[in-house]
Chain A
Amino acid sequence: MGWFGKSSLSSIIQRVFGKKHAKIGIYGPPNVGKTTLANRILRDWTGDIMGSVSEIPHETRRAKWKKDVKIENGNSSLTMDIVDTPGIATKVDYKEFMNTYGLSREESRRRAKEATEGVIESIKWLEGIDGVVLVMDSTQDPFTQVNVTILGNLEARNLPVLIAANKIDEDDSSPATLKSAFPQHPVVPISALTGYNTENLYSTMVKHFSKKRRKKRR
């Protein structure tokens, strides 16, 4: 599509979304379950699906969005535009796709090229977003650079972020580690795969993202 060229990204996002609602990005490193979560949210609240899921990292290589997703929580509700973003990484090695996942050389090289473009696209979308669900894999170390960078970026701009500690159905998951690592943000343990505790995620989203953005710049 390549529509990032001329007009500024925020004006494009404006056009895509209109102005009314909170634009919420689902962010995180590759393979943590962002699209699985996006699909679950859409399935629960709109009946659609967002995109394809895979055990191979960098499955999502273009941002995808769904407008007007209304999530209810008791008497309150929040209508959001939800963006599923490509996983953000500091490196992309096509040989990993060949050696670990058995893709052909040509396929691996194409996937790697698109993955680098996807990371750039995710970062561009970050500029126009009102809040973020940062998805982390709770079987892994919390302080990875991508997590630190995304959180630092959002904190510097005073944007609300909610951490979804995903994959808690796995035996070696440790959502408590994530909770103690990021005490300044709400951390909700979930399994996007089984749906476990997603009601809690939804109510936290409604509460956390409805707050008037207190100190928004400008």
Chain B
Amino acid sequence: MTKKDNGISFNLVSRQKFQDLSSEEKLRFILKEVKKGRILVLEYGLTPTEQTSLIENTMKEIEQDTFIGVEMEGYGEDTPTFLQKLFGMGKRPRMTMIGPADLVKTVRKDDNMIQTKIIPGRGAK
């Protein structure tokens, strides 16, 4: 993993950015960023099928001394309310955090909040 400066990059990825990408492009973007040591927070998460593919692709890219995989935490899809359905809105994936597993760790996760921490020793100096 390359880290040019001492800080840790935290990138917030807007829904607009992802709307224009195909599933494959999204997954490629995410893994490329995460392998550079960046932590991403996606405003608009991945569908269950995309999540499954991301796990599969992550496993293919693991290199034992440089990339051990991802830490990913998000929620299931929002079920649309009756009114939203009426207006043609389908299920929407919710906010998701994805980062390199050797850098970020989930402390706790419940229905409403995801608590993460940067693994000590790798944080900004």
Contacts and interface: CB of A to CB of B under 8 A. Distances in A.
A156 B109 contact: no
A152 B51 contact: yes
B56 A152 contact: no
B52 A143 contact: no
Contacts of B74: 145, 148
Contacts of A109: 64
A144 B74 CA distance: 9
Contact residues on A (Cβ < 8 Å of other chain), bracket:
20 to 34
Given A145-B74, A148-B74, A93 B59 contact: no
A201 interface: no
Contacts of B108: 141
Contacts of A94: 64, 68
A141 B109 contact: yes
Nearest to B69: A91
Given A90-B69, A116-B59, A143-B75, A153 B52 contact: yes
A47 B39 CA distance: 49
Interface string A91-117: 111100000000000000100110011
B72 interface: yes
Interface string B57-80: 011101010001111111111000
B56 A123 contact: yes
Contacts of A146: 55
A24 interface: no
Nearest to A154: B48
B49 A156 contact: yes
B68 A143 contact: no
A85 to B, nearest CB: 13
The size bracket of the interface on B is 20 to 34
Contact of B72 (A90, A123, A141): A90
Interface string A79-92: 00000000011111
B25 interface: no
Contacts of B43: none
B111 A91 contact: no
Contact of A112 (B55, B64, B70, B73): B64
B9 interface: no
B60 A120 contact: yes
Contacts of B27: none
A119 interface: yes
A151 interface: yes
B49 A153 contact: yes
Contact of B68 (A91, A141, A149, A156): A91
A93 B70 CA distance: 11
Nearest to B110: A143
Given A149-B51, A155-B76, 18 more contacts: A93-B68, A93-B101, A93-B102, A94-B64, A109-B64, A116-B59, A116-B62, A126-B52, A141-B108, A145-B51, A145-B72, A145-B74, A148-B74, A148-B76, A149-B48, A149-B55, A156-B49, A181-B111
Interface of A: 88-94, 109, 112-113, 116-117, 119-120, 123, 126, 141, 143-146, 148-149, 151-153, 155-156, 181
